[in-house]
Structure formats: structure tokens, C-alpha cells
Amino acid sequence: MERRQKLYEGKAKIIYATDDPDKSILYFKDDATAFNGAKKGTIADKGIINNKVSARLFQMLAENGIESHFIERLSDREMLARKVEIMPVEVVVRNYIAGSLAKRMGRSEGDELPRVIVEYYYKDDALNDPMINRDHILAFNLATEKQIDEAREIALRVNQVLKKYLYERDILLVDFKLEFGDYKGRMLLADEICPDTCRLWDRHTLEKLDKDRFRRELGQVEEAYLEICRRVCGDDI
């Protein structure tokens, strides 16, 4: 597969065209950002870890009947993926009270929710990715009714499968962000699933093993990412 021109560069990845118009190459960077880019830094080998963890989780989800844009991991930092048109809506699934939910509701972090919460956020850095609802999505033509309903259904299925898989590896899936893209009329899971996009806690100690260690300056960020890689993939990078 030949890598061609750069199509897009985001905070965590660069997307390249290939000699196949239906496929793209995702390059995972070590750059780290938080609070919609207000805080910036670098996490050593983050790109390698996130590529490896995402590839394993996409494979596992495929084994459970959940399709994604993922095709294969090409190298330490590169993933071959189907070229999708990304929906400008992030889908967040919450199993425990944490992060912005704790702040908004005036609750302490850590309590398991009595039911799963699904939230939507408009992907726009200039607006700080505001939380929106289904009516906003339809009124502003951010997605069709079919697309957003399909994305919600897939997100809940991902949660069921991923929560069980991680729990068996002593990880609590606290919450996570998903992105979706249209591929020839079908909504596919896209982007990445990794410590950048998920809150992951040790299920015994509740130690944070995700990007919150960077956001909150808790230290041992690289060690936490490596630990997730060991538990999810069965080895180091």
C-alpha cells in the first residue's frame, strides 16, 4: 500500500491518502492535548501504544460482529483503514460518574451509574466541542436520523463488548468517546479506541490508567499507557 499526500492532520493523528481511493493510512503521533488543545505536551511512544491498542480492540470488536474502518496495522505507528466521511458528532458513553459529568451534576467521581448514559458533542475546537442533543444534530444537519440512531446503537453494543473484555483484564471502562464515519452508505466505527479516548481505571485500586494522568498532572503517564497495552494486548510495545 503506497502512502500518498496528507489529507488531514489532527491533534493525535495524520491521515494520508493511498493508491486506493477507498483506503487511508492513519499515522499516530506522540503529541498530547487536553481541554480542547489548551494544554499541550508529548507522551513518549503514545502513538505506538494507541495504534497497537486500537488495532487489538477493533479486531476484538470485529470478532463480535461490530464493524469499523480498521483493516490492518501496517507498522508501529501506521494503520490502514477504510476511507470514511467522519460525522461531526462525538458519541460519549458513560458507565461511571467521572470528568465533566461529575462537575456538571455536582457529584463525586467513582459511582457506577444505574444506567448507561449516551451523550453527543459537536466536533468544533473553536466552540470547545459543545454538548448537544439529537434535536440539535437533526436541526443543524450534522447527521441524518438514520446515521445518529445507528451510531447510538453501535455505541451501546461496543460498550457491552468492550466493558466485558476490559473487566476480564482488571480494567473498569469508566467512559469513552467514539467517532463514526459514513462508508458507502453504512455507518462504521472510526478513529481510535485507546487511553486517549477512554477513561480506564484499575478495577481493584481505581488507579487512573488513561489521559487523565496527563490532564491532571498525576505523573507516570507513560507507565499507565504501557500498563494498558500490556493488559489489552498481552505484551509491551
**Where are the domains positioned within the chain?**
3-82, 85-220
CATH topology of domain 85-220: D-amino Acid Aminotransferase; Chain A, domain 1 (3.30.470)
Amino acid 7: pLDDT: 95
Side chain identity at 109, as an amino acid letter? E
Q: What pLDDT band is residue 223 in, cutting at 50, 70 and 90?
A: very high
Q: For 3-82, which CATH superfamily applies?
A: Phosphorylase Kinase; domain 1 (3.30.200.20)
Q: What pLDDT band is residue 235 in, cutting at 50, 70 and 90?
A: confident
| Of the candidates 22, 84, 12, the residue with the CA atom closest to the CA atom of residue 53 | 12
DSSP state of 159: H
Amino acid 1: pLDDT: 78
The reply to whether 85-220 shares the fold of 3-82 is no
Could you give the dihedral angle defined by the CA atoms of residues 104, 105, 108 and 109, in that order, rounded to the nearest 10 degrees?
Answer: -60
Judged by DSSP in three states, 200 sits in strand
